[in-house]
Amino acid sequence: MAVLFVTSEFADFAKAGGLADVAASLPRALRRRGLDVRVMLPALPEVLEAGLPIQIVAALPGHAGIEPCLIGQMRTPDGLIVYPVLAPSLYQRPGTPYLTPEGHDWPDNDLRFARLALAAAAMARGLPGHDWTPRLLHCHDWPAALAPAYLRWQGIPARSVLTIHNLAHQGLFPAHRRAALGIPEAAFGIEGVEFHGQIGFLKAGLFYADHVTTVSPTYAREITTPELGGGLWGLTRGLAEAGRLTGIINGLDEGWDPAHDGYLLEPYDANRLAVKRRIADRLRTSLCLRPSNGPLFGMTSRLVHQKGIDLVAECAEAIVNRGGQIAILGTGEPAVEAMLLRLVRRHRGALSLMSGYNEPMAHRVLAASDFYLMPSRFEPCGLTQMQAQRYGALPIAHATGGLADTIVDGETGFLFSPFGPLAFMHAIDRAFTTYRDKDKFEAMRRAAMGLQFDWAGPAEEYENLYRTVAGIEPDRHGRSSTPMLRAVNAL
Ligand code: ADP
């Protein structure tokens, strides 16, 4: 089975969030199962600077307002084949894959990612002189979501799967860009790319992909509701009713292992939990937290509204009053950071904020913590709660998305619902009670550390899905003939 991953991030080279990890780990897990999975991504500066030889395999013409490009081929040291899309005027830029160094969207992001999607469709048609043609495109998030649409518009029979890592990012652009993007006039409607008068890349992917997945079963249900459906819940509900929406939980890389963690001075496992105490004492010293016998509550997070930092701020005083301490590592919205800095001033010695992105420190905070705070408003999958459990830090998390799917309440962590300070505080109180009951606390930590979060299970689910989707026959319009279209038409 030849499958092409289409992605804007890939952890080997370019990472902005969790998508990069999935795009790097899942193809490798699928290759271990014998699938021929390869990856296509924009040739961002980091890709070219990786120092791997690049061989040019094709030159693609422009289309509408989309520039021509070259398709390269490179091989990672472990043998994964990567196709960078070489269009220097689009991709040779500083900043993240999406943003200028000042943090603004690049004004031509539509053309930049349409170029990626179009290149993927061309590959699925077959590149002259290149001996590999994918049978299925696995597209990730809005930057790749036009690929299933180009397949349909150009009559290319390859199948497509779209994975939504976060429905909050929809890739919306003004309607007047339609011609530049090569979107047929007839496709600018509810049965196509149009979303409230704009061009919606993610909407297009939801409409044209043969199958849609999200990164946890609970999130797959949640995006069919008005609350978390981002205005697309009519479409997602139609997909769900037609059996075309699936949630598959992400795996966690085996590198997250306290027994083999180069960032820790002392490794440990479930039989050497006393080591955690020493790591915590060292962290307290380095963060200017007072020596303490109380529990340490860790948090590593992007500091954004989604992550519920406001609940942490509301409950911080109660945690400190009960003898707890809080160590937060994160970076994000200036207003959220400013709010946390005010808290630090109020609770010196009991609460610390390390501002910035710091991978070694993320490992040390996990290892030092007794509990981990994750009161996310929504969480498509979440990796941090899996990392926390593997490091014996019990997560205290809102029962949403992947948090609800990976934490067993009262056994490997604490879940609360509804979202709000009362329920959160109740969960924190349960954590304090557990901390005082040493046997229960140790049993929970052992259970959490014993959970399996590897990629083997998810990779098997994706393989089964690919086989089902690859078996779908297109109808006479070149679209997949399934109840999904009937469901969408009925909206
Ligand atoms: P999201 O993808 O929404 O940011 P996840 O929980 O899925 O949330 O993944 C976040 C990942 O980024 C985790 O591996 C976490 O440890 C890491 N991370 C987040 N913030 C920081 C930071 N400031 N420093 C180091 N690692 C961070």
For range 272-279, the mean pLDDT: 96
Nearest CA to ligand 1 atom 22: 357
Centroid of ligand 1 to alpha carbon of 383 (angstroms): 7
Centroid of ligand 1 to alpha carbon of 300 (angstroms): 6
SS3 183: coil
- Among candidates 267, 336, 252, 277, which has minimal Cα distance to 301? 336
pLDDT at 489 over 90: no
pTM of the complete model: 0.92
pLDDT at 7 over 80: yes
pLDDT bucket at 479, cuts 50 / 70 / 90: very low
Nearest CA to ligand 1 atom 20: 301
Question: What is the tens place of the pLDDT at every residue in 415-472?
Answer: 999 999 999 999 999 999 999 999 999 999 999 999 999 999 999 999 999 999 998 6
For range 19-44, the mean pLDDT: 96
Assess contact for 411 and 393: CB atoms under 8 A.
Answer: no
For range 260-272, the mean pLDDT: 96
Q: Where are the alpha helices (DSSP H) in 106-173?
A: 109-125, 141-144, 147-153
Centroid of ligand 1 to alpha carbon of 299 (angstroms): 10
Residue 464: Cβ within 10 Å count: 12
Residues in contact with ligand 1 by the CB-under-6-Å rule are 17-18, 300-302, 329-331, 357-359, 362, 381-384, 387
Question: What is the tens place of the pLDDT at every residue in 117-127?
Answer: 999 999 999 99
Q: Can you read off the two tokens belonging to residue 291?
A: 């020596």
Mean pLDDT, the chain, rounded, equals 94
Centroid of ligand 1 to alpha carbon of 229 (angstroms): 23
pLDDT at 472: 60
Atom of ligand 1 nearest to the CA of 384: 6
Atom of ligand 1 nearest to the CA of 165: 2
Nearest CA to ligand 1 atom 8: 382
> Which residue of 140, 301, 328, 376 sits with most ligand 1 atoms within 8 Å of its CB, as the best mutation to test the pocket?
301
pLDDT bucket at 25, cuts 50 / 70 / 90: very high
Centroid of ligand 1 to alpha carbon of 18 (angstroms): 7
Question: What is the tens place of the pLDDT at every residue in 329-387?
Answer: 999 999 999 999 999 999 999 999 999 989 999 999 999 999 999 999 999 999 999 99
pLDDT at 488: 37
Atom of ligand 1 nearest to the CA of 374: 6
For range 160-173, the mean pLDDT: 97
For the chain, percent of residues with pLDDT exceeding 90:
93
Question: What is the tens place of the pLDDT at every residue in 291-340?
Answer: 999 999 999 999 999 999 999 999 999 999 999 999 999 999 999 999 99
pLDDT at 16: 80
pLDDT bucket at 473, cuts 50 / 70 / 90: low
Centroid of ligand 1 to alpha carbon of 306 (angstroms): 13
Distance between CA atoms of 64 and 61, rounded to whole angstroms? 10
The dihedral sign for the CA sequence 273, 274, 277, 279:
negative
Centroid of ligand 1 to alpha carbon of 59 (angstroms): 37
pLDDT at 187: 97
